[in-house]
Structure 1
Amino acid sequence: MSSAAAPQGASTVPEAPGEPRALRVALLGCGVVGTQVARLLATHGDALAARAGAPLDLVGIAVRDVAAPRDPAIDRALLTDDAGPLVDGADIVVEVMGGIEPARSLMLRAIAGGAAVVTANKALLAEDGPTLYRAADAAGVDICFEAAVAGAVPIVRPVRESLAGDHVRRVLGIVNGTTNYVLDRMATTGLELEEAVKEAQDLGYAEADPTADVEGYDAAAKAAILASLAFHTRVSITDVAREGITAVTADDVAWATQTGHVIKLLAIAEQTPDGVSARVHPALVPTTHPLAGVRGAFNAIFVEADAAGDLMFYGQGAGGAPTASAVLGDVVSAARHRVLGGKGPQESTYADLPILPPGAATTRYQVRVLVADRPGVLAQVARVLAENGVSIEAVRQAPGTGGDGSTVAANLIITTHAATEAALAATVDAVAGLGPVHEITSVLRVEGA
């Protein structure tokens, strides 16, 4: 046994026979998730200790306002508004406060002091994860973040560890429960977007300001994390092409149903011969695909791998208890490493693949065009697509209503073969300029076919 001194603030567990000392756990944040973490540490303490190999002692909870009302499950004697000393004396620091600062500084302080860190902070990991990973690697401690991507759904560990011997080609994910709930309600009830968002807010699924969800920022952070893990390449949130659901209408949802699809906000990460593509956008998913059946506020991640084939991970992606479940799984893992020695997997960036620009992503599209209902119009539209290198897979025509309210128009629903976003954008611009074209009603990607 080495006689080297342990890092400041994090004594190692004794190797001598007898009861191991309790590991000191510091909790940063006491919102919905933090409250559930504290509750489960108290109520499941014996079982968690048995799994970890040592008791887990919650020694303090850092909050902004000590006097604020709290759940009765919270021992107010543990509350402090001075996180620094709490972090310095911990073996494991659990960060569920969110945001960039002071979360980043506190986690780096914990790592420098020799503490393992467990975090659910997808925004920080997507923006500056490498700084934390390098610090943890240099200090020889764990940084765990299963809860950062899909709440209770185990996806970080399977991609990083279970599939480490395989080649992951593509990851498709419904990773934001709020938008999935909104789109599901639009599909099942005919609600417009604003009405469905208001309903989600009333039920507590959406924040008072739903921008992070409906504009795709939350999903983009998770896409960056998944792409980094799957393709062993550093991908930040700035590398993720992002489009939210604010332009999706009840009419879009109704047409999706007619063509055998549902609309989902997808986080997509894929490896191509040219590099890595990461993007978030609403997409038409065929009703035959497993992701199409994900309802309400649930999350699901569909992984395509060479040897394992297709895998889907499904479950509750938000909420205090589900997220706390993932957090405590990481706490137990970090604690076992404290007791038995060693540490978890490090950041893997050996591939260092190029990050493709948004226009390079290739997918299928469904374009809905309102045109004059007369002979030769379809031929004109088809010629423009061909001139721009976009191949038609299928065309469907349905009656439409002209601007004067009479039925003098037709809806062309054109499904393309795979094309780059750049080629499709040029095609749409050209089609919009044709004389018989009244309006490009909708342009949606088709994924999962």
Structure 2
Amino acid sequence: MALTKNREGEDIMESISTLSLNRWIAKEEEKTYIEVPFAVEGRIERIEVQYTYERSDGTTVIDIGLRSPDRIVGWSGGARNSFFVGLGKATPGYLAGLIPAGEWNVLLGAYRVPEGGCMVQINLKLVHNHPRWMKGDLHMHGVHSDGSYSIADAIQSGKDKGLEFMAFTDHNNASQNLSTLAADDQLVLIPGVELTSYKGHANLLGQLDALDDFRILTPEQAASTLQRAADKGAFVSLNHPFDSDCPWELGFDVPYDAIEVWNGPWRPLNETAVRWWQEQLVSGRKLVAIGGSDTHKPNPYVAHGTPTTYVRAEAESKEEILRAIRQGRVVLSFNTDETFIDLSIEEAGVGDTMIVDEEKEYEIAVKISGAAGDKVQLWSDRGLEREWIVANEGVYSFPVEADRLFYRAESNRYLAHLGVTITSCLTNPIYIHRLRAEAPV
């Protein structure tokens, strides 16, 4: 096990297995392909391979690649000294995807071997699934609809912002997803589409072609179309539902998984969405709040990662990211390097349900980074429970009542140069489930 820190300064425990393998290649094996086996066990999200051999003579060439139990997953030839494959990322030339348990093989190509042979040293690192906060953007457009970004330009913009995943959601089209089939080595790419009708917009995430018809004008049509997308496995969010230009007018009795409460830079439409979401939580509903930049073209205010959607995922893959979003393990921040708030009550974190005993006392830990000067608020179904100005980053702990439905946090900041107050961070709730003592017989 290895203890490392993520970008928010949070300690995370990575379980890493390492293995060193040596293979002597004789001259007689020149122009052959050699397999060096190793075992994969458990839930692995990434295999890293690095190799060395003596090449000072300028003529020795040993090529390298990788084979899973099922197939060859990549080949570098002699162009790379190291590479990796992961669930959602991979070095160019290698396939990202499931990493099944079983016998894997490093492939060595004995292209040019010296007369006396040579030793090849292989170092392997197997990274097991482990939770971590990942930052991304779930809503954007490019040249496949009405935006100006090519897929490559959008990916580079995301990398420049420090994002770790991006969802491509062009209006009513799936062609952008077919243009992003190859895994990137830094970003997890999530296929998507924005259902864009005259009565409202909704993102369908996680499937290459989730939308069969965008022409929905009635609640009944919306319910049918969204259900078909959900049946294909798509994650459904209703986008900017209170936008005056394109509000959601098809009712909320349709199949959906989340509500986009934060669209682009902080604006009144987002304030309205958060108030509506709070009302749903107070009613006892568990509803995931997400955000997305809705970026179309280079703009100083509407840009990739504004807002940033943080997701606490078990692995770097679209499947694990979307699974975590479904669980509500989501925090929204107004930019990639700004305020971040994490919550915990004992072992329960954002998106979890905490089972409490009304006879016991509990504390909530509010872990804050990048927020000096922000006003942080703690909310429950009873309304605003507590607020304070952040003087220093760190953990703030408070006693909390067990007779609540949820606790969530948000923070705001006054921008003097614009003369406005914005929300700087917003967490999804920790939900509370109370154990009631049985009545005496």
Q: Same fold (TM over 0.5)?
A: no
Relative contact order, higher structure (CA 8 A, sep 6+): 1
Please tell me the TM-score bracket, short chain as reference: under 0.3
Larger relative helix fraction:
1
TM-score, normalised via structure 1 length: 0.26
TM-score, normalised via structure 2 length: 0.26
